[in-house]
Amino acid sequence: MGYFNPTLWSPAYSVRSKMGINRIPASVVQYTQYYPSGLPWESNSGDNPGLQHKKYNGKEFIEMNNYDTYDYGARGYYPAIGRFTTMDPLAEKHPEISPYVYCAGNPVRYVDPDGRDFIVLSMNKGNQELRRIKMDGEDRYYKVNEVAFNKASKSFTNDNKDYNTMLSIGSLRTQERNSGQKDLIAEQTGVGISVSGSMRDGNNLIGDVKVTFQANFDDNSNYAISSYNAVAGGYGNGAPENGNYTVNNYQDRSPSGWYNSGMNRDGVGFSYNLNPQFNTGRSDLRMHPDGNNEGTLGCIGLTGNARGLTDFKNTLNGYLQNRSSLPVNINITNNPNNNGRNGTRIPHVRE
């Protein structure tokens, strides 16, 4: 880690050990030691603890008015008790762990670089998973050149595999920056939903599709996180048009909420708005379980059992905790792309 020291009018560099101890091979200008939770020890004379404020895990330590909290981005972390100050937005992913806990309650074994899990994938073997560090929060994906990643990992002698993984990611970033190579690491730029499939033979109203959550990378590639079976359309104007949409506005459609039998399947009911990002005559498009008869009035109807539908709902709700919407791309082969302006009357059906 490096920063510019205006007092000395020169750059200063530090190497952080697993416990956050700053070490440099030359003269020491700042020295900070920590409890395993990240709480700084009481400083000695000459340690200069306030020289710069990025401390444990490289996070800014905010001490103003005795706040004493680390800025982890989406959440603040209070090291005096080893807990985040707000709930984990994806608490349902780890029901066995408190939604406020830090590093699964074991900061000696685990590290948490940005409040999220992160998963390392191999570019060389078709996105095969290489490493996974289990933490609270939303997953973060990296794609790496496996040969370069393994070489970097072997260069670090720390016994903590998770920490070495983080160091290796940083090493590949530096190598790309210094060498100009573009095939060492691809970093996640966001997450979205892909709806792909084809219209049924001889039927221009209904299609069979896969609804896939995917991580998008800065090399324009993507990685399928999870997929769910669904139908597109079936009645009325048929499948929604191909193009870009956003999805938001979760609604409980179960008997205890804003009930709609056509949006309930296997005891699970919900809906999300599907918002076209282009000019169309279609409206009231949604994503929801496919209830009643097979097919929907122009929506994406998720099939499958209660477990799969609940997993889809929890996953999308988790992403929407920190976003106003999620991007969706629909690309259905042989889609007639009915824009809803032909004046066709939508029949009254129990979709």
Most confident stretch, 23-37, 58-72, 89-103: 58-72
- Give me the pLDDT at residue 166, please: 81
Q: Report pLDDT digits (tens) over 101-124.
A: 877 776 665 566 555 566 889 999
Return residue ranges of the chain for CATH 2.40.440.10.
190-333
Pairing state of beta strands 222-233 and 300-302? antiparallel
Q: For 219-273, how does the pLDDT look when each residue is reduced to its tens digit (9 = 90+)?
A: 999 999 999 999 999 998 899 999 999 999 999 999 999 999 999 999 999 999 9
Nearest residue to 29 via CA among 15, 44, 41, 14: 14
Tokens 């670090």 correspond to 156
| Residue from 170, 119, 110, 109 nearest 143 by CA | 119
pLDDT above 90: residue 95: no
For residue 331, what are its two tokens? 């690309």
Q: Report the interhelical angle of 161-179 vs 146-154 (nearest 10°).
A: 120
Q: What count of other Cβ atoms lies within 10 Å of the Cβ of residue 82?
A: 19
**CATH homologous superfamily, domain 190-333:** L,D-transpeptidase catalytic domain-like (2.40.440.10)
> Which pLDDT score, from 0 to 100, does residue 159 have?
72
Beta-carbon contacts of residue 20 (< 8 Å; ≥ 6 apart)? 32, 33, 34, 38, 55, 56, 57
pLDDT for res 51: 66
